[in-house]
């Protein structure tokens, strides 16, 4: 896709008007219009400002720069690189500090790149093939040989995952696979959106878990910006007690 079309697609996809984008980027609506029609060729700084004003993920910002004929501005470093050793150490510290509750870090495809020792609470009873690296957390959750048979409210909770994947075109194939495993969406009379704990059966008792998702909002590396830390918290006292007593 050429640069003018790419800018127009990103802007309209986010339902931002030319006037609003111009205001955010510190330029004029006329200039934005000229950029989108190909009548004006912006410099690198303006491309970066447009991408930032549209709040594009770092990967998409690099793609926009490339479409405009400029080198990418944001590095994409392997997590195995020594440069990111402090980040890996920090993640390990966060994961350990969340014990005795489960927590995982996944990449943009849902592949588990780190997890704490309470991960076995989630993986209990799953087929060994689903736990063979690289482990995909989304597939583990919804596959019939994974967590799915243990999720009492699968008709509600599955869409916590599916609705997020549907927003990422790069995960279309995975979304289609997981959707084939999921039951029909269950909407009850007291439905409040996704305001429902994960109800997970285990050999030690039933668990009710809330989740939080943390991202690296100020990262300037594509790899880090795409990581997500999903932490599970007890939604009631019995769950907290059960997890505290879970053997390690």
* CA atoms of 76 and 222, how far apart (whole Å): 5
**Better pLDDT: 189 or 10:** 10
- Taking only the tens place, the pLDDT of each residue in 96-114 is 999 999 999 999 999 999 9
If pLDDT is split at 50, 70 and 90, which confidence band does 155 have? confident
Residue 191: its pLDDT value, please? 57
Domain extent listing, the chain: 3-67, 82-245
Over residues 180-195, the mean pLDDT reads: 72
Over residues 179-194, the mean pLDDT reads: 74
pTM of the predicted model over 0.75:
yes
Over residues 14-31, the mean pLDDT reads: 96
Over residues 196-219, the mean pLDDT reads: 92
- Taking only the tens place, the pLDDT of each residue in 163-174 is 889 988 889 999
Specify the 3-state DSSP secondary structure of 229.
strand
- Taking only the tens place, the pLDDT of each residue in 143-154 is 999 999 999 999
- What tokens appear for 36 in the block? 């989108």
Locus of tokens 């609705």 = 163
CATH superfamily, domain at 3-67: lambda repressor-like DNA-binding domains (1.10.260.40)
Residue 195: its pLDDT value, please? 56
CATH 3.30.450, domain 82-245, yes or no: yes
Residue 109: its pLDDT value, please? 95
- What tokens appear for 162 in the block? 């599916």
Query: For all residues of the chain together, what is the average pLDDT?
Result: 93
Residue 227: its pLDDT value, please? 96
User: Looking at the predicted structure, is the pLDDT value of residue 91 above 80?
Assistant: yes
Closest C-alpha among 75, 28, 67, 34 to residue 51: 67
Note whether 69 and 42 are within 8 A (CB).
no
If pLDDT is split at 50, 70 and 90, which confidence band does 188 have? low
If pLDDT is split at 50, 70 and 90, which confidence band does 189 have? low
Specify the 3-state DSSP secondary structure of 135.
coil
Over residues 121-134, the mean pLDDT reads: 97
User: Looking at the predicted structure, is the pLDDT value of residue 194 above 60?
Assistant: no
HSE (side-chain half, CA atoms, 13 Å) at 133: 5
Cis peptide before 134 (omega within 30 of 0): yes
Residue 135: its pLDDT value, please? 97
Note whether 59 and 67 are within 8 A (CB).
no
């Amino acid at each position: 896709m050429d640069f003018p079309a790419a800018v127009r697609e990103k802007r309209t996809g986010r339902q931002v008007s030319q006037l609003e984008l111009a205001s955010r980027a510190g330029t004029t609506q006329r200039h934005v219009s000229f950029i989108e029609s190909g009548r004006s060729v912006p410099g690198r700084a303006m491309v970066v400002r447009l991408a930032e004003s549209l709040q594009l993920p770092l990967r998409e910002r690099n793609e926009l720069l490339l479409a405009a004929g400029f080198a990418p501005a944001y590095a994409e470093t392997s997590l195995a690189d020594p440069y990111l050793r402090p980040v890996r150490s920090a993640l390990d510290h966060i994961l350990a500090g969340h014990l005795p509750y489960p927590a995982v870090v996944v990449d943009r495809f849902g592949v588990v790149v780190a997890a704490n020792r309470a991960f076995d609470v989630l993986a209990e009873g799953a087929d060994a093939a689903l736990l063979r690296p690289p482990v995909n957390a989304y597939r583990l959750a919804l596959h019939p040989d994974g967590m799915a048979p243990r999720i009492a409210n699968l008709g509600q909770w599955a869409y916590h995952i599916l609705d997020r994947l549907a927003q990422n075109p790069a995960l279309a194939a995975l979304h289609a696979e997981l959707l084939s495993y999921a039951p029909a969406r269950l909407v009850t009379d007291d439905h409040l959106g996704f305001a429902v704990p994960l109800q997970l059966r285990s050999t030690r008792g039933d668990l009710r878990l809330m989740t939080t998702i943390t991202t690296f909002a100020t990262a300037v590396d594509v790899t880090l910006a795409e990581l997500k830390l999903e932490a599970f918290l007890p939604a009631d006292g019995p769950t907290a007690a059960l997890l505290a007593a879970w053997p390690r």
